[in-house]
Homo-oligomer: A and B are copies of this chain.
Amino acid sequence: MAEIAREAGVSAPTVSKVLNGRADVAPATRERVEDLLRTHGYRRRRGATQSAALLELVFHELESAWAMEVIRGVENVAREEGLSVVLSESSGRLSLGQSWVDGVLARRPIGVVLVLSSLDRAQQTQLTSRDIPFVVMDPAGDPGTDVPAVGATNWQGGLAATRHLLELGHRRIGVVAGPRRMMCSRARIDGYRAALEEAGLGFDPGLVRDGDFHHETGYTEGLDLLRVPDRPTAVFTGNDLQALGLYEAARELGLRIPEDLSVVGFDDLPLARWVGPPLTTVRQPLTEMAEVAARLVIDLARGNKPATPRVDLATSLVVRSSTAPPRTAGSGGAARGGGGLSRSGGGNPA
């Protein structure tokens, strides 16, 4: 630290202020010191300063019931460990502003759990040099192999959802997907595609719409998708909120669920059980994922290396009442149960 102070031409207490995210350092000085910390690969000695009994939880956005499941998981672990949770929102930007990092440095938490947010390299270095570990939960992009991350088996979820619809006899299966730029969303569509291919069906881009994980796009994209000639008899949606938007589109068009349209969601939020009809969906264990992420960051703070940098928890299909065999010409519908892939015909393979 003395060496960095000398090279930067400042006093040791000034370097200390920068390390602690204090506001009373000139921006140019701060930048010079940060650069030197980076080039020297400085890492604060473990235990050199006391961490506060805080765990930081940072969301991309706090807008949905989804966030609540994650908060609950982190709170569960924090309570057990006698820690308090500091909650922030990166306000819809996928990368965090600098002022947030300064706040973290000043608060000196045990560690940071980032949800769908990412840090750039400079920010990662800042946290690492202060010995503040971080874990990314359900990364939107590819956080890099050296960043500990907790996710879910999204590809398998898309596969299971689509196989379920194929087994019921559906052949024209649409998708109202989540945002394409998010990896979790892409993996779900790829799972859908893999199930179609497995069943010998082609992938029809005309049956795929992009949403943004909100109810509104489930409705607008759903309406659009259900108005195509020879509309799909089943739709797999990017998440449960989009599934509810699709419910509304179906109501508006006079289509009954599941008689006229089968719907599968993703996440299994509490509301999936409560809507009418109760939603068949792919369960993503959000609370458990958050617990694993929180435990991982606490483990890192104690100096333990994780066995593997990335953990994906299993998704599972939860069958409720929003899926049924398609009503095809001649079948009159309702030939439910035990539908093999090759049995009930119906629909044109796209």
A interface residues (Cβ-Cβ under 8 A, vs B)? 52-54, 57, 62-65, 67-68, 71-72, 75, 79, 82, 84-89, 91, 99, 103, 106-107, 215, 241, 244-245, 247-248, 251, 270-271, 273-276
Q: Is the CB of A85 within 8 A of B86?
A: yes
Q: Is the CB of A62 within 8 A of B75?
A: yes
In the complex where A52-B107, A85-B87 touch, is A65 in contact with B271 (Cβ < 8 A)? yes
CA distance in complex: A238, B241 (Å): 24
Copy tally for this chain in the complex stands at 2
Beyond A84-B87, A271-B274, list 4 extra A-B contacts (CB 8 Å).
Answer: A62-B75, A63-B72, A215-B273, A244-B271
Residues of B within 8 A of A52 (CB): 107
Q: Is the CB of B89 within 8 A of A79?
A: yes
Q: Is the CB of A87 within 8 A of B89?
A: no
Minimum CB–CB distance from A250 to chain B (whole Å) comes to 9
Q: Is the CB of B89 within 8 A of A75?
A: yes
Q: Is the CB of B68 within 8 A of A65?
A: yes
CA distance in complex: A85, B59 (Å): 13
Minimum CB–CB distance from A246 to chain B (whole Å) comes to 11
Q: Is the CB of B63 within 8 A of A65?
A: no
Task: Specify which of B53, B63, B75 is in contact with A87 (CB 8 Å cutoff).
Answer: B75
In the complex where A87-B85, A274-B275, A275-B275 touch, is A68 in contact with B75 (Cβ < 8 A)? no
Q: Is the CB of B62 within 8 A of A71?
A: yes
Residues of B within 8 A of A54 (CB): 86, 107
Q: Is the CB of B68 within 8 A of A67?
A: yes
Residues of B within 8 A of A79 (CB): 89, 91
CA distance in complex: A203, B278 (Å): 35
Q: Is the CB of B62 within 8 A of A87?
A: no
Residues of B within 8 A of A107 (CB): 52, 54, 84
Minimum CB–CB distance from A178 to chain B (whole Å) comes to 17
Q: Is the CB of B86 within 8 A of A215?
A: no
Residues of B within 8 A of A84 (CB): 86-88, 103, 107
CA distance in complex: A270, B65 (Å): 9
In the complex where A87-B87, A215-B274 touch, is A72 in contact with B68 (Cβ < 8 A)? no
In the complex where A251-B276, A271-B65, A274-B245 touch, is A87 in contact with B71 (Cβ < 8 A)? yes
Residues of B within 8 A of A276 (CB): 247-248, 251, 275-276
CA distance in complex: A57, B57 (Å): 14
Pairs A–B under 8 Å by Cβ, sample size 24: A54-B86, A54-B107, A57-B87, A62-B68, A62-B71, A62-B72, A63-B72, A64-B68, A65-B271, A68-B68, A75-B87, A75-B88, A79-B89, A79-B91, A82-B99, A84-B107, A85-B86, A85-B87, A215-B270, A215-B274, A244-B271, A271-B274, A275-B275, A275-B276
Residues of B within 8 A of A248 (CB): 274, 276
**In the complex, which residue of chain B has the Cβ closest to the Cβ of A63?**
B72
Residues of B within 8 A of A245 (CB): 274
**In the complex, which residue of chain B has the Cβ closest to the Cβ of A72?**
B62
Q: Is the CB of A65 within 8 A of B62?
A: no
